[in-house]
């Protein structure tokens, strides 16, 4: 498969999974990559994985959650504001489809 075919196929997959927005897809990619090494929190996404303003980050996370790609949960802790992000089965299915293109 040449690069043009790969790009076309990945566009088709992004459209099928309603991930045509670069901003949203980059946020999901960042969560996917970081979550292999550590637990991801909303504050980590905003502080270390800069993807725009805090409002942009919250908007993207809300959209990913609404679309079913991530779940955001507060765990019992000293600070109840600490929220963890976890990829869902839908997100893993998206990356599985992408990997099959390669």
Q: What is the pTM of this model?
A: 0.85
11-65 pLDDT, tens digit per residue, is 999 999 999 898 899 889 999 998 888 888 888 888 776 667 788 888 889 999 9
Per-residue confidence band for 78, with pLDDT thresholds at 50, 70 and 90: low
Which fold does the domain 3-101 belong to in CATH? Arc Repressor Mutant, subunit A (1.10.10)
**Do 87 and 31 contact (CB within 8 A), yes or no?**
yes
Q: Where are the domains of the chain?
A: 3-101
pLDDT attached to residue 86: 94
Name every residue whose Cβ is closer than 8 Å to that of residue 64 and which is 6 or more positions away in sequence: 24, 27, 28, 31, 70
Averaged pLDDT for residues 66-71 = 96
């Amino acid at each position: 498969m040449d690069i043009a075919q790969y790009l076309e196929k990945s566009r088709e997959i992004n459209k099928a999974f309603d991930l045509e927005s670069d901003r949203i897809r980059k946020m999901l990619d960042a969560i996917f990559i970081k979550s292999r090494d550590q637990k991801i929190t909303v504050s980590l996404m905003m502080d270390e994985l800069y993807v725009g303003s805090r409002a942009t980050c919250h908007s993207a996370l809300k959209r990913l959650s609404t679309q079913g790609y991530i779940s955001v949960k507060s765990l019992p802790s000293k600070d109840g504001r600490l929220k963890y992000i976890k990829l869902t089965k839908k997100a893993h299915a998206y990356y599985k489809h992408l990997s099959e293109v390669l």
